[in-house]
Amino acid sequence: MPTRLAELYQPGDAVEIRFADAEEWRPGVVVALQSPGVWVRTEDGAAWVVTNGRRIRARGADTP
């Protein structure tokens, strides 16, 4: 069974998220856990729940 995002990230972790139709990664911070996903607040103040591991990475990671 794959590791859940709520097990990989903790509140306060600096991350980047990407939306399905976007090419660029947006910086954010994990603000809460909601198994199996995490809530991320982006720099514009919006909060997003992320449940897909291909749409989140640690800030500065070189994931394609």
State the pLDDT at residue 60: 84
**pTM of the predicted model as reported, rounded to 2 decimal places:** 0.88
Cite the DSSP H helix spans in 1-64. 5-8
State the pLDDT at residue 62: 67
State the pLDDT at residue 43: 94
Which two three-digit tokens encode residue 36? 């199996």
With tokens 């990989």, the residue in question is 8
Contact 30, 13 (CB under 8 A): yes
State the pLDDT at residue 40: 98
State the pLDDT at residue 27: 97
List, in order of start, the domains of the chain with CATH numbers.
Answer: 5-56 (2.30.30.140)
C-alpha pair distances (Å), 23 with each of 5, 30, 42: 21, 21, 16
**6-63 per-position pLDDT tens digit:** 999 999 999 999 998 888 999 999 999 998 899 999 999 999 999 999 999 999 876 5
